[in-house]
Every structure is written in C-alpha cells, then in structure tokens.
Amino acid sequence: MKKLFTLSQLAACAILAFAGFSAQAADVQGSADAGKGKVWLCIGCHSIPDYRADYPLVYKVPMIGGQNGAYIATALSEYKKGERKHPTMRAIATSLSDQDMADIGEYYAAQTATSPNNPLK
C-alpha cells in the first residue's frame, strides 16, 4: 500500500493550516454599525444601571458603554473558551463568531458610560 503523506508532511500541513486560521482571527476588524444588530442579547443585562444578576452568584453587571472594543472582544473570547467563569456569559459567547465579538466590542466602544446602550430605542 502506498503512503500518500509522511508524518512530517502531515505535521507541516497542520501547522500551516493553524497559522492561517490564527492570522485570519487576528485580522478581524469590528464594525460598530454591524454590532448594533448583534447586541440584542447584551442589552438585557448590560443596559440596566445597577443591575444585579443572581445566577450563579449575586453579581453586579457592569455598564459596558465606552469600554475598549478589543477588551470586550477578548473577554467574550475568554468566556467562550471557558477561561472566564460565568455560565450565562459562556453560553452567550459560545454562539458568537470572532467577527461578532469584534463587532459587539466596537459597538460598545462607540457608546459612552452614560449612554443607554440600547440600539432598539
């Protein structure tokens, strides 16, 4: 039986594929305008001043308007990977693509700390 690829060739292909995926993820540019249509789930908690969630523990939910967009995208990515521990945020983040996270981050970065953060108004 003829081998199609050697182990070293397969490893090289895997490395190149991973490098391409990593470069693609790093090149994602967020759009505040696109993010406006993606924050519908966020506004249920993050647009209410002094809101406290009671699952899994009592947790003061931050208003995130004016926050750095890259920080928000990174935080969402960390929830998605399980590096940040909050079940509700993890469930939401797992449904988001890298593009969605970047867009949401840019949407909130374009807001102010006192803006209502509600694109539906």
Alpha carbon distances (Å) from 68 to 18, 28, 57, 64: 28, 16, 26, 9
CA angle 7, 9, 15 (to 5 degrees): 105
The per-residue pLDDT for 25 is: 53
Domains identified in the chain and CATH numbers: 29-109 (1.10.760.10)
The per-residue pLDDT for 116 is: 64
The sign one gets for the Cα dihedral 33, 34, 39, 40 is positive
pLDDT > 50? residue 16:
no
DSSP state of 38: T
Report the half-sphere exposure of 20 (CA within 13 A, side-chain side): 6
Task: Note if the bond before 56 is cis, omega within 30 degrees.
Answer: yes
Per-residue pLDDT band for 83 (boundaries 50, 70, 90) equals very high
The per-residue pLDDT for 55 is: 72
CA angle 53, 33, 88 (to 5 degrees): 20
CB 34 within 8 A of CB 103: yes
